[in-house]
Amino acid sequence: MRKPVMVLAVIAAASGPASGAGPDCEYPNVMFVVDKSRSMSDPVDASSTAGSKYQIALGAVERALAMYGDKVRFGLTMFPWAGECGQGRVFVPTDYGTAASIVSEMKNQAAQLDGATPIAGTLYALVSEPSLMDTSRRSFVLLLTDGTETCSPDYDGPTNAAATLRTAGSAVFVIGFGSAVDPETLEAIAAAGGTSAAEKTQNYHEADDAATLDAALVSMIEFATAEVCDGRDNDCNGAADDIAPKRCVALCGAAGEQLCEGGEWTECLDETGAVITASSAACKSGGSSGFGDSGCSCAVLTLE
Ligand SMILES: [Ca+2]
Ligand SMILES: [Ca+2]
């Protein structure tokens, strides 16, 4: 069911939202934040013959742009810029139709891989990036690095920067690429900048070759383009909040579902549409755990 709808949206959206999409259609912003420190000119590991990490990253970004360039407003930041620890520079602000510019700018930098890894400074700089200060849609920053922070004197600098960026409206995804990453620090950055666990995002991915890098990018961009319960048409298929109900179950065992209505999830409803409470028929019937109405709190667990 879903696939043909997505294809239609892609064809119709070469330079903006699909013509058939509703007024609340909002393709997301996704800002690639790509490490171009000197270690990116190295292979993924000493035995690899697959080319430099940067070249592999360029190929993966090109493939992601080909797949999603018509349904995401991509942008490009690279770091460091203008000095060993210079904060990243926005080469391409997020917008429709930026794929060719992003590839061109990344190719232009391929022979200029130098400097250290100023993750904190780069994320802080993006807090005031105009193309991400966009309340009409969701915005994401997708950090791709082969190391960890090497410029901030503050150990918590990158994590605080990611949290600040998140508060300013951009969730932060992180990909650690190659064998020299510091997973613990990168996971902390992602957790600080990520969306809630209830939305099932996996914030941090490790990648070691083109295939795993492709998979990480697809996973993150699929998350960024998925329909969510917010009153808007996130995937621009013409319908706002066309999203499956979540299954939920009360502690007493009574099962129900939550519906997306008016941009918010309802409480756990029984089959008649009534909210399941301790006094509701669904709860008093006992359900599978057999608590009946004695001690049934009917606290609701959401199962998705
Ligand atoms: Ca939709
Ligand atoms: Ca929605």
* Cα of 221 from ligand 2 centre, angstroms: 16
Which ligand approaches the C-alpha of residue 242 most closely? 1
Which ligand approaches the C-alpha of residue 231 most closely? 2
Please report the DSSP string for 86-99 in residue order.
PPPEEEE-S-TT-H
Q: Percent of the chain at pLDDT above 70?
A: 79
Starting at the edge strand found earlier in the chain, the sheet holding 29-35 runs 89-92, 73-79, 29-35, 139-145, 170-177, 204-207
Give the pLDDT of residue 3.
Answer: 44
pTM here is 0.82
Burial class (CB in 10 A: 0-12, 13-18, 19+), 3: exposed
Among the listed residues 248, 261, 210, 275, the one whose alpha carbon sits nearest the alpha carbon of residue 49: 210
- Is the distance from CB of 243 to CB of 227 less than 8 angstroms? yes
Q: What is the pLDDT along the chain (304 residues), one digit of tens a residue?
A: 344 444 444 333 345 655 444 456 789 999 999 999 999 999 988 888 889 999 999 999 999 999 999 889 999 999 999 999 999 999 999 999 999 999 999 999 999 999 999 999 999 999 999 999 988 899 999 999 998 899 999 999 999 999 999 999 999 999 999 988 988 888 889 889 875 443 445 578 889 999 999 999 998 999 899 898 988 888 888 899 999 998 887 666 777 889 999 999 998 888 888 887 766 665 555 444 444 444 444 555 655 5
* Cα of 8 from ligand 2 centre, angstroms: 18
- Is the distance from CB of 258 to CB of 265 less than 8 angstroms? yes
Which ligand approaches the C-alpha of residue 235 most closely? 1
Q: What digits encode the pLDDT tens for the residues 138-176?
A: 999 999 999 889 999 999 999 999 999 999 999 999 999
Can you say whether the dihedral through the CA atoms of 7, 66, 36, 52 is positive or negative? positive
Question: Where in the chain are the domains?
Answer: 2-225, 246-302
**Structure-token pair, residue 258:** 């939550």
- Is the distance from CB of 173 to CB of 191 less than 8 angstroms? no
* Cα of 130 from ligand 2 centre, angstroms: 24
Partners of 89 in the beta sheet? 78
* Cα of 238 from ligand 1 centre, angstroms: 6
- Is the distance from CB of 287 to CB of 255 less than 8 angstroms? yes
* Cα of 243 from ligand 1 centre, angstroms: 8
**Structure-token pair, residue 193:** 């900048």
Amino acid at 12: A
* Cα of 5 from ligand 1 centre, angstroms: 9
- Is the distance from CB of 84 to CB of 116 less than 8 angstroms? yes
Q: Beta-carbon neighbour count of residue 163 at 10 Å?
A: 18
Q: Beta-carbon neighbour count of residue 161 at 10 Å?
A: 27
Give CA separation, 161 vs 103, 121, 170, 189, 199, in Å.
27, 8, 11, 8, 22
* Cα of 58 from ligand 1 centre, angstroms: 31
Distance CA 138, CA 97 (A): 17
Dihedral class, residue 253 (left if φ above 0, else alpha if ψ from -120 to 50, else beta): left
Amino acid at 106: M
Amino acid at 160: N
Q: What digits encode the pLDDT tens for the residues 118-127?
A: 999 999 999 9
Domain range 2-225, CATH class: alpha beta
* Cα of 195 from ligand 2 centre, angstroms: 16
* Cα of 245 from ligand 2 centre, angstroms: 13
* Cα of 236 from ligand 2 centre, angstroms: 9
Q: Beta-carbon neighbour count of residue 295 at 10 Å?
A: 9
Which ligand approaches the C-alpha of residue 71 most closely? 1
* Cα of 13 from ligand 2 centre, angstroms: 18
Distance CA 242, CA 237 (A): 9
* Cα of 6 from ligand 1 centre, angstroms: 10
